[in-house]
Structure 1
């Protein structure tokens, strides 16, 4: 497993691939599209199984959400609205996280909190057919928590994406750096037959915890949608508020993939596909 800071992923992952080793890499896989593509192509050429830590898509509540939508809980999806706070990329930064402020390191608001969440969104609702985006740096400097020093904010602390999915559903998504005194994570899915609301304490869907509420048919008020036991590993049931909860389910998925020859867990090819979406967002932002 490669579990170092994002700028060092490429060298460590490539070394493992060249040694013929299967690799699980934390997300993001590479600093940019070129690194991600090369790693994916190398793994494919060598016939090596790979896994990438996009664990929001295997979190039990997200899996349940996907099935609710697929089974017609909301009917035809008309639109989805998302707002989230990135926790980092706000007014202060920990000394050890200053590297997050340089987009060249690949560990940005776009790739990490927004990236994990939009990966889950597309798994549940489908890929983007068209989009328009803004990436804006509203804070020019950030205060280092330990020293009080002001350092430059080089990366975007505001991301706004609007678009249309391949299904025709309309998307509006806004991520902002730091934390809000109001809403820090809200995702709504609105359909012809019902609505679902997903909430959490921050914009890192891959960490959670999250709660689902829904209503359909004649119901006019949202009610909690408890997670069915079938979606959860009993050994992790008491860890729902821990970051290890989603990761533990991802690890179980890797074990299943290796033992049964399935492909539940995102691999390097998927990582490259997701990086291409980020490139589309950044290209749209630059045009405007």
Structure 2
């Protein structure tokens, strides 16, 4: 495989793919964007023109049939994932699906098994692990710079789940649509915690509906009900024995919108950001070791930005790093990127969190 051809389902102008996947692909010589599809031919043509792609379709079937497409990116609303991912798998394509993989654990299980049975390679959009600051933090922990990790606390904001929204984004507040504070901002942050410090062995959770209604500002200030819990509390023990506490709120805070402390027997790491969606924001890393009485900024060595093209900024940075690993996986047979099997474990975690909250009983995951 020389240049790897990519087709994006959900490539509309101004959409997620346009600010993350497409800039990443254009900056990476291993890939070429060869097709886009949207729900209307007019928007598909506009996207094709803007992104320099001749193959622009108003349906996924034609995109899947395009001979130059090796990797299919599914970047649409979660309720459509099952149909589109299944079709891509049946077409024998490598599939890169945005997170969440599916609406629920049952659908995630079905898609994971389907991909495994078909023998196709998969990737899931959990790119937060590729932050250079997180890579460096993991190395510091592995080298014992903060001693044994004994506890961690994370507090963040979901940002977009505030008291007002637009008609196009009202679905964020509906728990049946798959894009909630728990499945979105909170899970991305929890996954970063797990990748850095290990998985939960046991957890308790409390999911609270703080806002019961939201105002749709571009629809005559219509008020619609909120069904997705927007106050998320999670406490537990990691498989390393360290204590962990996570709190995520909907909307924004006038204080800190992201702060994560990792406390060890001989040091502390602190990661902060102005934006609570960890996978897309810029992180700042501070640390204190040994006899230090406070944390101070740490410069991240350039080697931890491997896979991120120089000059690439914003949401595209971590997505580009994931694509870099995907190229290696496809060419060398490695297993570097988080795939559907890994996504399935994240859906199992979501199910455990929901059960712990609804039943009021700690869940054992180990």
Structure 1 length as normaliser, TM-score?
A: 0.97
**Structure number, greater radius of gyration:** 2
Q: Distance in 1 between matches of 2:308 and 2:335?
A: 23
> 1:94 maps to which residue?
166
Alignment of 1:1-288 (within 5 A): 1-147=73-219, 148-233=221-306, 236-240=309-313, 242-288=314-360
Q: CA deviation at 1:234?
A: 7.8
Quick one: distance in 2 between partners of 1:221 and 1:118? 26
Task: Answer yes or no: is the 8 Å Cα contact 1:58–1:265 preserved in 2.
Answer: no
CA RMSD of aligned residues (A): 1.2
Deviations 1:225-282 (A, max 9, x none): 1111111148634334x11111111111111221222211100000000110110000
Larger RCO, structure (CA 8 Å, separation 6 or more): 1
Work out the CA distance in 1 between the residues paired with 2:150 and 2:307: 35
Q: Does the CA contact (< 8 Å) of 2:112 and 2:344 recur in 1?
A: yes
**1:59·1:250 contact (CA, 8 Å) conserved in 2?**
no
Question: Per the alignment, in what secondary structure is the counterpart of residue 232 of structure 2?
Answer: strand
Query: Normalization by structure 2: what TM-score?
Result: 0.76
Query: How many residues matched?
Result: 287
Q: Which runs of 5+ in 2 are unaligned?
A: 1-72, 361-366
Q: Distance in 2 between matches of 1:287 and 1:229?
A: 47
Deviant stretches of 4+, over 6 Å: none
Q: Residues of 2 paired with 1:95 and 1:236: CA distance?
A: 36
